[in-house]
Amino acid sequence: MALPIQYSLRNVFVRWRSTIATVLGIALVVLVWIIMQALAAGLEAAGGTTGDPRNLLIVRKGSDSESTSQIGLDDVRSIQYSEEIARDEKNRPLISADTLVTAYLPRAGGAEGGANVIFRGVSPNGPPLRPQVRLVAGRWFVPGKREAVTSVRLARRFAGVNVGDEIKLGSRTLTVVGQFDAGGSAFDSEAWMDSDEARSIFNRANYASVLIRPVDAAASARLKTRLESDHRLTMRVVPEMEYYAQQTKTAGPIRFGGNVIATVMSIGAVLAAMNTMYASVGARTREIGTLRVLGFRRRSIVATILIEGTCLAFIGGVIGGAFSLLANGYKTGTMNFQTFSETVFELTVTAPTLAKGLAFAALVGLLGALLPALRASRLPVIESLKAV
């Protein structure tokens, strides 16, 4: 014979203080876990949505990022007129030899400190090769005029990078003439300028990478094979989107750290839930004995207490998940250890993450109620009825 649901509800409301403490404790655990997963998901989304599937990125063989790569001027000349590369309406090859440098910029709003920001030097065909980057204010830079464009998100986090501002880079000054929106991709963490000017200002003899758009998939495969097999060039050719997806290694430690923190906190949550259920069982000793006399079986009592604990934890999970949604889309930044610059991204709370958080909360409640439920089912009937 099963116990009525009203019995569990009455016990929850009678012991409302311990109930609230348990629910809020589990809500905090779920909230922290979801936020950490949202940080990792945001970083992965920034890298996973960067680039164009038609493009190939060329870096020096052995380099794990553009910041450690060098492509010589002669190497660029040997690549740019390959027949496999597509051309624009002016019959120019769709290729951009990029220079990647970092500069320290102060925080916006008078906040203390600052961070390194990537300044990407691009060739004239650099912007057309990246259609996800849209100019939203001002105009594109003109080569030779010491001009730059910055991302909108970058301008929100750093001072002096809005249209009309001047950026001091060593002994040179750049004028910001435009702003772009890169749609949440890794380019939102960059400022762009002319590639040859970047090499001149930062005294770089070589380029960092070369971005190309082959005519078609077959041409892409031929070009990749030819360049990588040419021992004079020592180049590595990867699809642009694959390259940026590999650059989100920072998300791994964040996700791992979130799991470690959640594990430690969940142990405390399990103990809290267990303490609450033990107190509930202790206060209901006589009731449990009476239920046994009335014919309720041990398994019914165990099931009732397990359901109580699981439902309380699930409610905590719902609360924690609801509060985590307030952080969804929040824009922040973190250090990219591949380039030693700040990566701007936004927290991304996904439906699978919320579902895992709720399942995690229910598991915590189930584990917390298991031992108290078994203890309740094993109480001797006569001793239970004599309890005060």
What residue spans of 118-250 are helical by DSSP H? 152-157, 195-201, 217-229, 240-246
d(CA 179, CA 167): 14
Could you tell me the pLDDT band of residue 2, with boundaries at 50, 70 and 90?
Answer: low
pLDDT digits (tens, 9 = 90+) for 169-198: 877 899 999 999 998 888 998 999 999 999
d(CA 11, CA 21): 15
pLDDT digits (tens, 9 = 90+) for 84-109: 999 988 888 999 999 998 888 888 87
pLDDT of residue 312: 82
pLDDT of residue 247: 74
Closest CA to 120 of 94, 138, 136, 98: 98
Q: Is 35 helix (H, G, I), strand (E, B) or coil?
A: helix
pLDDT of residue 341: 61
Could you tell me the pLDDT band of residue 15, with boundaries at 50, 70 and 90?
Answer: low
Q: Which residue has the higher pLDDT, 111 or 73?
A: 73
d(CA 258, CA 294): 48
Q: Report the chain's mean pLDDT, rounded to a whole number.
A: 82
Q: What is the DSSP string of 225-294?
A: HHHHH-TTT-EEEEEHHHHHHHTGGGHHHHHHHHHHHHHHHHHHHHHHHHHHHHHHHHHTHHHHHHHHHT
Find the Cα–Cα–Cα–Cα dihedral 318, 321, 323, 327, rounded to 10°.
-170
With beta carbons less than 8 A apart as the criterion, state whether 23 and 318 touch.
no
Find the Cα–Cα–Cα–Cα dihedral 263, 265, 270, 274, rounded to 10°.
160
Say yes or no to pLDDT of 63 above 80.
yes
Which range is least confidently modeled, 139-143, 151-155, 265-269, 367-371?
Answer: 265-269
pLDDT digits (tens, 9 = 90+) for 21-62: 778 888 888 888 888 888 877 777 776 678 899 999 999 998
Q: Which residue has the higher pLDDT, 211 or 2?
A: 211
* Alpha-carbon distances of 16 from 207, 315, 319, rounded to whole Å: 66, 14, 17
* Alpha-carbon distances of 379 from 119, 273, 283, 361, rounded to whole Å: 71, 20, 13, 28
d(CA 370, CA 302): 8
d(CA 88, CA 219): 16
Q: What is the mean pLDDT of residues 300-310?
A: 77
Q: Is 214 helix (H, G, I), strand (E, B) or coil?
A: strand
d(CA 292, CA 190): 70
pLDDT of residue 368: 78
**Angle, helix 251-283 to helix 298-324, in steps of 10 degrees:** 140
Q: What is the mean pLDDT of residues 116-140?
A: 93
- Across the chain, how many H-helices and E-strands are there? 12, 12
Could you tell me the pLDDT band of residue 308, with boundaries at 50, 70 and 90?
Answer: confident
Say yes or no to pLDDT of 337 above 70.
no
Could you tell me the pLDDT band of residue 289, with boundaries at 50, 70 and 90?
Answer: low
Q: Which of 188-202, 255-269, 300-314 has the highest mean pLDDT?
A: 188-202
pTM confidence score? 0.73
Say yes or no to pLDDT of 282 above 80.
no
Which residues, listed in sequence order, are joined to residue 107 by a DSSP beta bridge?
158
pLDDT of residue 14: 63
Which residue is listed with tokens 């019959």? 91
With beta carbons less than 8 A apart as the criterion, state whether 126 and 98 touch.
yes
How far is CA 21 from its chain centroid? 31
Say yes or no to pLDDT of 307 above 90.
no
Closest CA to 40 of 343, 263, 243: 343
Say yes or no to pLDDT of 384 above 60.
no
Say yes or no to pLDDT of 330 above 70.
yes
